[in-house]
Chains A and B, each alone.
Chain A
Amino acid sequence: MDTWIIRAARLGDDLVDLTVAEGRIAAIAPAGTLAAAEARTLEAHGARVLPSLIDAHAHLREPGFEYKEDIASGLAAALAGGFGQVMAMANTNPVNDSAAVTAFMLERARASHPSGPFLRPIGALTKGLAGTELAPAGELAAAGCVALSNDGKPVVSTELLRRAMEYAADLGLVVIDHCEDPTLGAGGVMNEGALSGRLGLKGIPTVTEAIQVARDVLLASYLHIPIHIAHVSCRESVEVLAQAKAKGVPVTAETCPHYLLWDEGMVDGYRTAAKVNPPLRTKDDVLALRQAVRTKVIDLLATDHAPHADHEKDAPFAEAPFGISGLDTALSLTTLLIAQGELSWDDAIRLWAKAPARTFRLPFSPLTPGAPANFILWDEETLWTVSRQTMRSKSTNTPALGMELPGQVLAHVLGGQLLFQRQPSPWPIS
C-alpha cells in the first residue's frame, strides 16, 4: 500500500499537507509542517482537496447500448470527473431487473476499474420497466442494487408505485421516481412556453412534472416511506417539495447542473444537444432551483448522465433522443456556479457527496485523519475546453461542447491509491 504526502492542498480556507498511509488519511496539518519519510510526494500547488463525489443518477448504457457508452468508459469519465461512486439506472437492454444483469454490470465494473470508481446499480422498479409488475427487489438488493427506479418511464399506476415503495422499504431501498405525467404534454420535446410556440415544437408543461411530484409527496406522507424525486426542473416542483419538507414528509430530491445553469433558450435554433427530459425551463425556474439547492429543499445534485451517439443527436429536433452527457463536466459546471456566487464549496460537498451518501446509504469518507483516503485534488483555476478529445465519455452530447469551463481533477485517490492524475502530470513524483 502506497504512502503519500500531499503538500499545499486547500482544505476549506486553509493550506494543508495530508499524509496517506494504509488506504487512510493519516494526518492533516498546516502546510509545511508535516514530514513523512519514505513517502511519495504530490505537490498540490494550492489545489482544493474535496471528498470523492457520488453521482446518484447516471445512464452507463451497458448492457445493450455500448455504442453510446459502456461501463468502462462511463467509469473512466467518472474517475476523471471526480466521482468515486456512480449509481447506474436500469434502462439497459436487457433491463436491470434481475440479479443476473446486476451481477454482469458489477463484473464489468470490476474488470475495468477494480479499485474504483465503484458502480452502484439501481434496480428496475418494475419488470422490464413496463410499469405493470414489481421487479424482484429482494433479488436485486441481494445482488448489489442500492435503489430502485423506473427512470425514463414514469410509473403510471399509483397503486403499483405505492406497493413498490412499501416492498422496497422492507429491504431498506429508496425508490427514485422520474416524475412525468404520462398524458399531460405527451409527445412534447421541449419546455412549453413562448419559445416552443415560436419554434413550432410540442411543449412539455412544468406541471407535467409537478403534478407527479405532488402525487409522490402525498404518497410518502401517507405511507411514512421515503421517496426520492429525480431531476427536478421547475419552480412548481420546488414549491411542492418546500411545502412537503416543512411538514416533515420523508422526501428527498435531486436536480442536475444543466438545470441550474441553462434555460430553454439553449434549444433555440433547434439545438439537439440541449434536448433533455425534463426539458430546460425558463430563467425563473433556474432561479428557483438555485435557491432550492442552497436552502436544502433540493437535497443533492446528480448528473443524469445520458450519453447518445452523434448520429442519434444529428437529427431534426423532434426526432433526436433526450439526454445530456454529464460526468465529464459536472464539477466544472458546479465550479462555475460557485464562481458566480450561487453556491459555496460546502454546498458542493453536501450536494455531491454527503447528501447522496446519506440518502442511499452509501459510504462517505470525510476529510479527517483515520477516514478512508477517498478524495480528489481539484484545480479550480485551470480552464479547459470541452471537446471530443477532452471528454472521456464515448458521447459528447452536451451544450457545454466547445465551451471553456473552469476546474480540472489533478488527482483522484480512492482507497489510498492514486487512480487518476491529469496528464501531462503536473508533478514529478518523487
Chain B
Amino acid sequence: MPWPHKDLLDVTQLSKEEILLLLDTAQRFAEINTRPVKKAPVLKGKSVVLFFAEPSTRTRVSFDVAAKRLSADSFAIATSGSSLQKGESLADTARTLEAMHPDAIVIRHHASGAAQYLAERLACSVINAGDGQHAHPTQALLDAFTLRQAWNGELEGKTLTILGDIAHSRVARSGVDLFSRLGIQVRLCAPRTLLPPGLASWPAEVFTDPKAALAGTDAVMCLRLQLERQQAGLLPSLNEYAARYGLSSRLLAAAPDALILHPGPMNRGIEIASDLADGPKSRILHQVAAGVAVRMAVLHLLLTRKP
C-alpha cells in the first residue's frame, strides 16, 4: 500500500488499514531496536528538524533517536534560545525553517492547530508531536502499539479507561479516536471540571466516579495533572484530586489485573501511586520503547513516500 500522506497531523486522518500498516512497520523496527547494532540506512541523506516550542524531553529524544536509528540527520530547535522566544511569529519561523530545506519538521507547540498551520504552508512533511490541547498522534499510536503487544494483537472488545484531565489532554483526544477504531471500548473518567464540552459525540463512555469507570477494565491510562488546574479553580487541591482520582491499589481493586499506562512525565503520588507505576502491571517503560519504534515507522513511511 503506497503511503498517501505528506503530513501526520492527527490519527483522524488515517484509515484503519493505514493505522495497521503503521503499527506493523513499527513492529519491524522494534526488532531492530533490540539488536546490538541499532541502525538501518533507510533514511540516509534525509534531514529532520525537531522544532519543540514547548518543553519536552521524552518526545523530543524519542524522535531524535528514531531519526538517527534510520540514519537521518536530525537538528533540534529548543524553546529557550530560539527566536520564538524573541517574539518571532510562527509564520516567520516556518518560512525560516523551510528555507533550510528539511525533509520533515517535527513540531511540538502550545497552540492547538499549530501543526496544521505549518503543514498548510510548507512543502516538507510535518509531524505533529503535540499541538496544544488538540492532538498527539504518535502518542496514541505508541499506546496502541503497547497494548497490542501486551494483548498479543487482540484489541477487539478490550476495555481501556483514561483517567484524569481529559479536557486539556491532546493524548486523550487522539487516543479516543484511535483506540475506538481498533475495537477497544474506551471509558473516560474525570471530575466534571476536567471533562471537555461535547463529550456525547465522542466514541467513549463517560464517568465521573472512578470506581465505576475502573470496574472490570482491562487497562487504565492515567493522565498527567498540570499543577495550574488548581490555580485555575478547576480543583480544590491536588491532595483532594489525589485522594479521589489518583490511581491506587484501592481504586484498582475492581480490576486487579488491569495494565497501567501513563504518557509521562508522571506526578507520582498525584495521578498515580508510586507502587503501581513501578509494579508488575505497569507498561510505562514499554510505552517509551514503543515510542521510538512508532516514530521510526512514521518517519519511514512519510519520508520514503513517492510523491
Chain A residues with CB under 8 A of B1: none
CA A201 – CA B114 in complex, angstroms? 12
A317 neighbours in B (Cβ, 8 Å): 111-113
**CB atoms of A197 and B112 under 8 A apart:** no
> When the two chains form the complex, which single residue of A194, A269, A314, A315 contacts B200, counting CB atoms closer than 8 Å?
A194
A181-198, CB < 8 A from B: 192-198
- Chain B residues within CB distance 8 Å of chain A: 89-91, 109, 111-114, 116-117, 131-135, 170, 173, 196-202
Mark A residues whose CB is within 8 Å of B. 192-201, 203, 269-270, 311, 314-319
* Contact, CB under 8 Å: A194 / B90: no
Residues of chain A contacted by B173 (CB below 8 angstroms): 198, 200
Contact status A203-B109, CB under 8 Å: no
Q: Which of B91, B134, B197 contacts A203 (CB 8 A)?
A: B197
B167 to chain A, nearest CB (A): 8
Cβ-defined partner of B135 (8 Å) among A195, A196, A200, A318: A200
List of A residues within 8 angstroms of B116 by Cβ: 269-270
Contacts of A195 in B (CB 8 A): 198
Shortest distance between the CB of A313 and any CB in chain B (Å) = 10
Assess the B112–A315 pair: CB atoms within 8 A: no
Task: Say how far B186's CB is from chain A's closest CB, in angstroms.
Answer: 15
A315/B197 in contact, CB under 8 A: no
Shortest CB distance B140–A (Å): 14
- In the complex, the answer to whether A200 meets B133 with C-beta atoms within 8 Å is yes
Given contacts A200-B170, A318-B132, 8 further A-B contacts (CB under 8 A): A194-B200, A197-B197, A197-B199, A200-B131, A314-B91, A316-B90, A316-B111, A316-B132
List chain A residues, Cβ under 8 A from B89. 311, 314-315
Which residues of A sit under 8 angstroms from B132, Cβ to Cβ?
200-201, 316, 318
* B199–A318 CB distance below 8 A: no
| CB contact between B201 and one of A194, A200, A269, A315 (< 8 Å): that residue | A194
CB atoms of A315 and B199 under 8 A apart:
no
A200 engages B134 (CB within 8 Å): yes
A197 contacts B113, C-beta separation under 8 Å = no
CB distance from A124 to the nearest CB of B (A): 29
Q: Could you list some 6 contacts between A and B, CB below 8 A?
A: A192-B197, A193-B197, A194-B200, A198-B198, A311-B89, A314-B91
- What residue of chain B has the Cβ atom nearest to residue A192's Cβ? B197
From the candidates B114, B199, B200, name the one contacting A316 in the complex (CB within 8 A).
B114
- Please give me the residue from chain A that is nearest to B232 by CB atom: A187
Identify the closest chain A residue to B132 (Cβ): A200
Whole-angstrom CA separation of A193 from B202 in the bound complex: 12
Q: Are A311 and B91 in contact, CB atoms less than 8 angstroms apart?
A: yes
Kindly state the separation between the CA atoms of A203 and B244 in the bound complex, as whole angstroms: 27
Chain A residues with CB under 8 Å of B199's CB are: 197
Q: Are A200 and B112 in contact (CB under 8 A)?
A: yes
Is there contact, CB below 8 Å, between B90 and A315?
Answer: yes
CB distance from B129 to the nearest CB of A (A): 15
The distance from the CB of B132 to the nearest CB of chain A, in whole angstroms, is 5
Contacts of A269 in B (CB 8 A): 116
Q: Which residues of B contact A319 (CB under 8 A)?
A: 90, 111
Considering the complex, give the chain A residue whose CB is closest to the CB of B91.
A314
- A197-B198 in contact (CB<8A): yes
Which of A194, A314, A316 has a CB less than 8 Å from the CB of B112?
A316
A316 to B109 CA separation, bound complex (whole angstroms): 10
Asked if residues B198 and A316 are in contact (CB atoms below 8 Å), the reply is no
- Chain B residues lying within 8 Å of A196, measured Cβ to Cβ, are 196-198
With most chain A CB atoms within 10 A of its CB, the pick from B112, B113, B117, B134 is B113
With both beta carbons as reference points, the residue of chain A lying nearest to B195 in the complex is identified as: A197
Whether the pair A318, B198 counts as a contact (CB closer than 8 A) is no
Query: Could you tell me if A194 and B109 are in contact, using CB atoms closer than 8 angstroms?
Result: no
In the bound complex, residues from chain A placing their C-beta under 8 Å from that of B131 are 200
Q: Are B112 and A193 touching (Cβ within 8 A)?
A: no
Most B C-beta atoms less than 10 A away, residue of A200, A201, A269, A317: A200
Which residues does chain B contribute within 8 Å of A199, judged by CB atoms? 112-113, 134
Tell whether A270 pairs with B200 under 8 Å between CB atoms, given A200-B170, A316-B90.
no
Which residues from chain B contact A311 at a C-beta distance below 8 Å?
89, 91
A233 to B208, CA, bound (A): 32
- Complex Cα distance A199/B132, Å? 9
For the complex, give the distance between the alpha carbons of A201 and B196 in Å: 10
Query: Contacts of A318 on B, CB cut-off 8 Å?
Result: 111-113, 132
Chain A, residue nearest B90 (CB): A316
A319 to B117, CA, bound (A): 12
How distant is the Cα of A317 from the Cα of B111 in the complex, in angstroms? 7
Could you say which residues of chain A place their CB within 8 Å of the CB of B91?
311, 314-315
Closest A-B pairs by Cβ, 6 of them: A194-B198, A316-B111, A270-B113, A200-B134, A200-B133, A197-B196
- The residues of A that contact B111 with a CB separation of less than 8 Å are 316-319
A269 to B134, CA, bound (A): 12
Q: Name A191's closest neighbour in chain B (CB-CB).
A: B197
Contacts of B170 in A (CB 8 A): 200
Bound-state CA distance A193–B200 (Å) is: 11
A-side contacts of B202, CB under 8 Å: 197
Instruction: Closest B residue to A271 by CB, please name it.
Output: B113
Q: How far apart sit A164 and B117, CA to CA, in the bound complex (Å)?
A: 44
In the complex, chain B residues whose CB is within 8 Å of the CB of A198: 173, 198, 201
Query: In this complex, what residue of B is CB-closest to A270?
Result: B113
Residues in B neighbouring A194, C-beta threshold 8 A: 197-198, 200-201
CA of A311 to CA of B117 in the docked complex: distance in angstroms?
14
Cα distance A96–B244 when bound, in Å? 53
Whole-angstrom CA separation of A233 from B134 in the bound complex: 26
| CA gap between A197 and B113 in the complex, in Å | 13
Q: Which residues of B contact A315 (CB under 8 A)?
A: 89-91, 117
CA distance A200 to B137 in the complex (A): 14
CB pair A270–B198 under 8 Å, yes or no, is no
* Alpha-carbon separation in the docked complex, A317 to B110 (Å): 11
Name the residue on A nearest B199 (C-beta): A197
Task: Report the bound CA distance from A196 to B167 in whole Å.
Answer: 10
Please name the residue on chain B nearest to A201 by beta carbon. B112
- Report chain A residues within 8 Å CB of B196: 196-197
> Which chain B residue has the least Cβ–Cβ distance from A317?
B113
- Complex CA gap A18/B215 in Å reads 81
Evaluate contact between B113 and A193: CB separation under 8 angstroms: no
The minimal Cβ–Cβ distance linking A314 to chain B, given in whole angstroms, is 5
Alpha-carbon gap, A269 to B115, bound state (A): 11
- Taking CB atoms, residues of chain A closer than 8 Å to B117 are 270, 315-316
In the complex formed, the residue of A with least CB distance to B169 is: A200
